[in-house]
Amino acid sequence: MTTTGNIDTITDSELQAARERYRVERDKRLRPDANDQYIEVTGDYESYVADPYVEPGFTRDPVVRDVQVLILGAGFSGLLAAARLRDAGIDDIAIIEKAGDVGGTWYWNRYPGAQCDIESYIYLPLLEETGYLPIEKYSRAPEIRQHAIRIAQFYDLYPRLLFQTELRELRWDPTDSRWHAGTDRDDRISARYVILSNGPMNRPKLPGIPGISTFTGRTFHTSRWDYAYTGGDERGGLEGLADKRVAVIGTGATGIQCVPHLGRYAEHLYVVQRTPSAVDVRGNRPTDPEWATTLKPGWQRERMRNFNALVNPASLFLGSAPSEDLVADGWTSLLGSTMSASVEVAQSGATGDDLGVAYERADLAHMNRIRRRVDEIVDDPDTAEKLKAWYRTFCKRPTFNDDYLPTFNRPNVTLLDTDGRGVERVTEQGIVVNGVEYEVDCIIFATGFEVGTNYTRRFGFEIVGRDGATLSAHWAQGPRTLHGYYSDGFPNCFFTGLNQNAFTPNFCHMLDEQVEHITSVLLEAERRGSRSVEPTADAVQGWVQEIAATQMPFTTELQTTCTPGYYNGEGATGKGKGLLEGLYGFGSDAYFEVVRTWRENGMPGLAFPRRDTEVSPNAD
């Protein structure tokens, strides 16, 4: 387990110097085009999103069907929704999925080294239900994908799945109180309820580098890995690269995981870095069979909740964090110790620091340790200096890897640091960085996924609710929901993912809580024999205000002073484009409690008109 640095050793002048360095590093990366710097992967770039894992030419007859529940997406969110509904006795389900099988992000992301950096025992859903225990503390992608298949088989979901199918339109019809869905395969599916489980980061993005389409070598995005070209598989063995010069662009969580494999196999590897990631200790290990025998029923939910409370800054400040740390890894020590230390300082009042400054001190101690780790591992001092992350921990996603930094000690690996500017140009033969052209055979884009772009662009369809109103128009100034789950004017339509709800690093825990909530609302609608379920405009407005009211000034200020990335809308903070913007400010633990209590109190603000009426709760 990692330990944080000692915050008592952080002097005022050190804190000032770090603030200044962070500001300089941030300012040099700010761009007026913010999120618009990325190219939409359509038209000439469409090949970047083609599915490399299916045989081309799949055809089937259009499906015409009426179901009780239509789910969009067969990643863990959609699978969980279907599983929980089946457990509750609702079997009339159809699931539309773009990919050739289940797994969502784990279907697409098969790059070498792909692995989940949240502990497998809390990340993989439905372990107790399906009777499976992961083989390692941190699962690798094939095991995760296999578990998605296991869930689909266990809950008999395959007959309900329509693969290689994309939703094209979703329209509410008040005459039959049903959603009508059209797909790219001419299916006509109607459904009483719709659950949108289409994932927050499903659309790969490319940087708008001049000349990007002129490159004549091989090029692909990490979420569509071309093993026919590289050889090998997710475990490595990229023998096809033995005589290839490869450039990988991007050093986020994905780049960190695939670079060690590329370094091992490519004739020469150029790692193009715009902003370094903070890379902490991984420390994976096989599952202890003796520990497995000690697990009591209900252990997974308990472990998920324990982890969540420990990585939730709000519960630490509110003093509600558990004393026991069941997962005991980089996440819990990072947030747990860092935050506890800052809370202690703030509460003692000894320094007169407010919470924000106390947190900043603790964070700096942690980041200093991460930067020292680079010096300890990377031999060349100049390369080591460039690999150091100069921002606060949660400006970018923390990463954990034991093989990334040692890769830079290999003679066939060159770090091309761009000092925050990125690749200058792509040419027919390669890339231009800092005025120098590097000829390569292959460019791999580890440049992430669209966040904060318009819903229709990201998902390829429009949602048309009551009176022909579109969701894009209704949300033009930002999401408008009750608790993140439903919007006025869009009856019987449930959202999962990150919209005005709360974030936890363990995404599958968040999804499980969301699906539990949606299932109970849906069952309540059925129990009451209601024709539809929809929030009142007042309830939605109340929640929009609640979200604004719970924003903690110091966390908002933190994102504003952060180096750009998808967490803060590429530096354009406050416009609702960042992944971490517009969420419930008191954290996920408190949020789960808010919605639990709301359910117990009879679900106020939701209208359940009877089946013999069709009245909008928002009609005048």
- Nearer to ligand NDP among residue 99 and residue 607 (C-beta): 99
User: Is 565 an interacting residue with respect to ligand NDP (CB under 6 A)?
Assistant: yes
Angle at the Cα of 350 from the Cα atoms of 344 and 353, rounded to 5 degrees: 75
DSSP single-letter state for residue 62:
P
Closest distance to ligand NDP from the beta carbon of 447 (Å)? 4
- Nearer to ligand NDP among residue 327 and residue 606 (C-beta): 327
Quick count: other Cβ atoms within 10 Å of Cβ 276? Answer: 22
Count, residues in the chain: 620
Q: What's the rounded Cα separation, in Å, for the pair 399 and 59?
A: 41
CA neighbor of 404 nearest in space, from 113, 111, 25: 113
Angle between helices 355-377 and 338-348 (to 10 degrees): 140
Q: What's the rounded Cα separation, in Å, for the pair 324 and 63?
A: 52
Site string for ligand NDP, 173-202 (x = CB under 6 A): ----------------------------x-
- Nearer to ligand NDP among residue 108 and residue 608 (C-beta): 108
Please report, as residue ranges, which positions from 271 to 300 form the binding site for ligand NDP (by CB under 6 A): 272, 274-275
- Nearer to ligand NDP among residue 272 and residue 540 (C-beta): 272
Closest distance to ligand NDP from the beta carbon of 427 (Å)? 15
User: Is 26 an interacting residue with respect to ligand NDP (CB under 6 A)?
Assistant: no
Q: What's the rounded Cα separation, in Å, for the pair 606 and 469?
A: 19
Backbone angles phi, psi at 95, to 5 degrees: -125, 125
User: Is 401 an interacting residue with respect to ligand NDP (CB under 6 A)?
Assistant: no
Judge whether 2 and 280 are in contact, CB under 8 Å: yes
Angle at the Cα of 131 from the Cα atoms of 126 and 136, rounded to 5 degrees: 80
How many chain residues bind ligand NDP (CB under 6 A)? Answer: 27
Q: What's the rounded Cα separation, in Å, for the pair 229 and 159?
A: 34
- Nearer to ligand NDP among residue 507 and residue 584 (C-beta): 507
Backbone angles phi, psi at 617, to 5 degrees: -65, -10
Quick count: other Cβ atoms within 10 Å of Cβ 524? Answer: 16
Closest distance to ligand NDP from the beta carbon of 569 (Å)? 12
Question: Is residue 304 classed exposed, middle or buried when 0-12, 13-18 and 19+ CB atoms within 10 A define those classes?
Answer: buried
CA neighbor of 77 nearest in space, from 508, 487, 580, 499: 508
Closest distance to ligand NDP from the beta carbon of 117 (Å)? 3
Closest distance to ligand NDP from the beta carbon of 428 (Å)? 18
Tell me the window of 175-183, 267-275, 290-298, 315-323 that interacts with ligand NDP (CB under 6 A): 267-275
Site string for ligand NDP, 229-258 (x = CB under 6 A): --------------------xxxxxxx-x-
- Nearer to ligand NDP among residue 413 and residue 595 (C-beta): 413
CA distances from 287 to 44, 134, 284, 306, 541 (A): 46, 7, 10, 19, 47
- Nearer to ligand NDP among residue 60 and residue 457 (C-beta): 457
Tokens standing for residue 325: 């740390």
**Which member of 140, 160, 282, 397 binds ligand NDP (CB under 6 A)?**
397
Backbone angles phi, psi at 263, to 5 degrees: -60, -35
Q: What's the rounded Cα separation, in Å, for the pair 303 and 305?
A: 5
Judge whether 346 and 353 are in contact, CB under 8 Å: yes
Closest distance to ligand NDP from the beta carbon of 588 (Å)? 16
User: Is 207 an interacting residue with respect to ligand NDP (CB under 6 A)?
Assistant: yes
Site string for ligand NDP, 494-513 (x = CB under 6 A): --------------------
Please report, as residue ranges, which positions from 423 to 462 form the binding site for ligand NDP (by CB under 6 A): 423, 446-449
User: Is 209 an interacting residue with respect to ligand NDP (CB under 6 A)?
Assistant: yes
User: Is 580 an interacting residue with respect to ligand NDP (CB under 6 A)?
Assistant: no
* Strands 178-183 vs 167-173: parallel, antiparallel or unpaired: antiparallel
Q: Tell me the three state secondary structure of residue 215.
A: coil
CA distances from 87 to 129, 303, 352, 516, 592 (A): 10, 22, 53, 11, 21
Please report, as residue ranges, which positions from 297 to 356 form the binding site for ligand NDP (by CB under 6 A): none
Closest distance to ligand NDP from the beta carbon of 209 (Å)? 5
- Nearer to ligand NDP among residue 444 and residue 539 (C-beta): 444
- Nearer to ligand NDP among residue 118 and residue 518 (C-beta): 118
Closest distance to ligand NDP from the beta carbon of 493 (Å)? 26
Closest distance to ligand NDP from the beta carbon of 525 (Å)? 33
Judge whether 133 and 192 are in contact, CB under 8 Å: no
Closest distance to ligand NDP from the beta carbon of 458 (Å)? 14
Angle at the Cα of 123 from the Cα atoms of 122 and 128, rounded to 5 degrees: 60
- Nearer to ligand NDP among residue 67 and residue 259 (C-beta): 259
Tell me the window of 112-120, 302-310, 379-387, 493-501 that interacts with ligand NDP (CB under 6 A): 112-120
191: Cβ–Cβ under 8 A, 6 or more apart, which residues? 66, 67, 68, 69, 70, 94, 178, 179, 181
**Which member of 117, 187, 280, 513 binds ligand NDP (CB under 6 A)?**
117
Tokens standing for residue 591: 């949020």
Query: What single letter denotes the amino acid at residue 447?
Result: T
Closest distance to ligand NDP from the beta carbon of 157 (Å)? 23
- Nearer to ligand NDP among residue 330 and residue 489 (C-beta): 330
Closest distance to ligand NDP from the beta carbon of 490 (Å)? 27
Closest distance to ligand NDP from the beta carbon of 451 (Å)? 8
- Nearer to ligand NDP among residue 264 and residue 397 (C-beta): 397
- Nearer to ligand NDP among residue 124 and residue 209 (C-beta): 209
- Nearer to ligand NDP among residue 165 and residue 251 (C-beta): 251
Q: Which residues are near ligand NDP by CB under 6 A?
A: 115-118, 201, 207, 209, 249-255, 257, 272, 274-275, 397, 422-423, 446-449, 565-566
